[in-house]
Structures are given as C-alpha cells and as structure tokens.
Amino acid sequence: MKLRRLLPVCGLALLAGCATNHLVLLPSENGAHGAVAVLDEKGGETVVSQTDSRTSIGGGKPTTRAYAASPAERGLIDSLPPPPIRLTLYFKEGTTQLTPESLPSLEYLRAQVRSRPGVEAQVTGYTDTLGSDDDNDRLSQRRAEEVLDALAGEGIDRKLMTAVGRGERSLRVQTADGVREAANRRVEVTVR
Amino acid sequence: MRKIIMVLMATVVASQPALAAEIGRIKRSVGMAAIERGKEKVPTAPGVQLQSGDVLVTGKDGQISLTFIDDTRFAVGPNSRVALTRYDYDRTRQTGTFETSVNRGSLAVVSGQIAKSGKDAMKVRTPTSLLGVRGTRFIVEVGK
C-alpha cells in the first residue's frame, strides 16, 4: 500500500532521486552462477540473475537492463580485498615437522601474509588416529602453533592470528583408531 | 542461590560489549573514513577489527575495503553510510545470518559462506528495497 502511494511521487517530482537506487550485478569471480533477489513486503520476489545488468530498486517494480559498469564502479570492484586463501600442510609422523612437499606451500602462505595489509590467519591442526586422544590433542595444537609462528615471523602480531588443535576429530581420510595416515597429519590454514 | 545466579547473569550481560566478537577486519582505508560504534568513533586502519552493529562512513574522497570471517568482502565507496546491522556466524558449521543497510552511497559485495548457508541468510537493505543475496558479486547504489 505504502509503496503504491509513493510511486507517483517518485515518477513526477523526484525522478532523479528515485532513479539513483540501483543494483549492478556482475559476473562472479569463479564463473559460478549467482543471483540477487529483490524482496517485496508481501513475501514476493524478483530474482535478478542476468550478469552485467543494472536493476532499479527505487521502490517500484524492479526493471533490469543490460549494463556495462562505469569507471567509478570498476574502481570500486577493483578495491575489493583479494579472495581468502585456504591451504593444507602435511607433517611427518608424530612430529611438528612439515613434509618436504609442504614447504613450498608454507613459503606461499608467508608471502601472502606479507602482502596483505590487515591480514587475518587462522590455523587448525589435526593428527591421524595413532596414539592417545590426549597426546593427539596436544600434538595438533603444537602443529598449529608451529605454523602460526612461521607466519608470525613475517612481522605480523601473533594476537591477530589464531591456532586451534582438533586432534583426531575431523579426519580427512576416515580410518579406524590407531592407524597411521599421512593425509590426516595436517594443519589447515586460512589467510584473509 | 537465585540471587547469586542473577548477579552472575548481570555480570555476563554487562561485560559483553568489551568481549564483542570480531566479525571482520579493515583491509584498506582511503581518504575520509570512520567507523561509528555506538557513540564512539573508531578510526579506520588496516587490521582494525569490526563488530556487529558498526556503521561505516566515508566522505567524498573516502573508501573502505574489508573482509568478514565468513569470507564475505566489501568495498564501501565515497559519500557512503553502510550499517553492519546484524552479523552472526558459526565458524565451525559455517552458517549464519548477515544484514547490512546501505543508507547512502555505494557498496560492492562478494558474498561468502553466510550467503551459501541458507536462502536469504544474507540480506542488504536500502531505504527503498530489501535484497536477498543468493551468492555473487554486485554493487548497490543509493542516491541522495
């Protein structure tokens, strides 16, 4: 009701003002299908899924047109932070030493930590099912701390990062208890 | 006994503001930009932690870039006022709800885990509309 009463006002007196509320839909970074729904008060919706389009969202019925982003809009998109990174590093059995194969990944993460202002790093450690639960909780925590220390070595305040050990919970490869499994001896690192 | 519990509960409630959980971090800030947190004004700088309820404000040369703990990313354009009205995220389950209000100016968004966690779990409000984010990259513009 309210909307309908507002509409004529928008159309006549506030053409410029009302016409400046827009939704610009862009292609997603990874090519995945995306959409934004314009929801109305009665529970209805208008789904916008056409990329490179502009939709009026001034209160009336949304209308969508093909659209090329303006330089200012391009600039805004370019100033979005880089996508977060997620990597898994693997350890030698019963130790906090990385496997040789994981060393380049650690170097890559260090470079990312260096190049991202306002960085946030989250490290979660895990073990395989060999050994007691308590020992594995401790080992997974030490693995996470060790990697965190390596990242903090890039001059980042350790307080801005978190390390958590989850022992043999969340196995990457399901095994029975007491089984050596290289794929489960790992830390998962997120750098935002 | 009941009295003790009530006192304890009051203590918990009272101490919440200081413990307010981080929901994201400033990555970049250009020109005139600030965070309004209740009556406080928090300066923007890389690494500054954001809280649910924060309002991001920029002047005519201002811009703020930020990343949330669910991987959602924002770029706030010049002459803008963007309120992080409600943000709830369970890091373990990777689910939550997120409501943002673009009261003025422009906001570029790349949605993250919250938008994926349920239909319209992420919403963006403007003075004239309500958007349900179904996972994508977009800009919302609100004129004066």
Domain extents in chain B: 20-142
Inter-chain residue contact B135 with A35, CB threshold 8 Å: yes
How many angstroms separate the CA of residue A62 from the nearest CA in chain B?
A: 10
Residue A188 pLDDT: 95
Nearest to A160 among B28, B47, B73 (CB): B47
| Amino acid residing at A134 | D
Nearest to B136 among A25, A45, A81 (CB): A25
How many angstroms separate the CA of residue A165 from the nearest CA in chain B?
A: 13
Residue B106 — pLDDT band, cuts 50, 70, 90?
A: very high
State the average pLDDT over residues B62-74: 97
| Length of chain B measured in residues | 144
Provide residues of B within 8 Å CB-CB of chain A.
Answer: 25-28, 30, 45-48, 63, 65-67, 69, 71, 73-75, 77, 106, 108, 110-111, 120, 123, 126-144
Residue A128 has which token pair?
Answer: 């395989």
| Length of chain A measured in residues | 192
Q: How far is CA A64 from CA A33, A54, A132, B82, in A?
A: 17, 5, 60, 24
- Pick from A175, A172, A174, A145: which is nearest to A161 by CA? A145
The beta-carbon contacts of A41-48 under 8 Å, at least 24 apart in sequence, are A41/A2, A41/A3, A45/B132, A47/B134, A48/A23
Q: Using an 8 Å Cβ cutoff, are A59 and A8 in contact?
A: no
Q: Using an 8 Å Cβ cutoff, are B66 and B90 in contact?
A: no
State the average pLDDT over residues B120-139: 94
The conformation of residue B20, written as its DSSP 8-state character, comes to: P
Inter-chain residue contact B136 with A18, CB threshold 8 Å: no
Residue B144 pLDDT: 67
Residue A19 pLDDT: 54
Inter-chain residue contact A34 with B110, CB threshold 8 Å: no
Residue B8 predicted with pLDDT over 70: no
CA distance B135 to B112: 7
How many angstroms separate the CA of residue B48 from the nearest CA in chain A?
A: 7
Residue A160 pLDDT: 76
Q: Higher model confidence: residue B8 or residue B35?
A: B35
Which stretches of chain A score pLDDT less than 50? 1-18
- Please list the residues that pair with A90 across neighbouring strands: A186
The conformation of residue B52, written as its DSSP 8-state character, comes to: T
How many angstroms separate the CA of residue B3 from the nearest CA in chain A?
A: 37
Does residue B133 sit in helix, strand or coil?
strand
Other beta carbons less than 10 A from residue B28's beta carbon: 19
Residue B130 — pLDDT band, cuts 50, 70, 90?
A: very high
CA distance B89 to A4: 36
Residue B91 pLDDT: 84
How many angstroms separate the CA of residue B65 from the nearest CA in chain A?
A: 6
Residue B49 predicted with pLDDT over 60: yes
Q: Which candidate in A76, A77, A157 is best for mutational testing of the B interface (most B CBs within 10 A)?
A: A76
Inter-chain residue contact A59 with B128, CB threshold 8 Å: yes
Q: How far is CA A74 from CA A81, A134, A137, B75, in A?
A: 14, 52, 47, 11
CA distance B13 to B20: 11
User: Least CA distance to A62: which residue of chain B?
Assistant: B129
Residue B121 — pLDDT band, cuts 50, 70, 90?
A: very high
pTM of this prediction exceeds 0.90: no
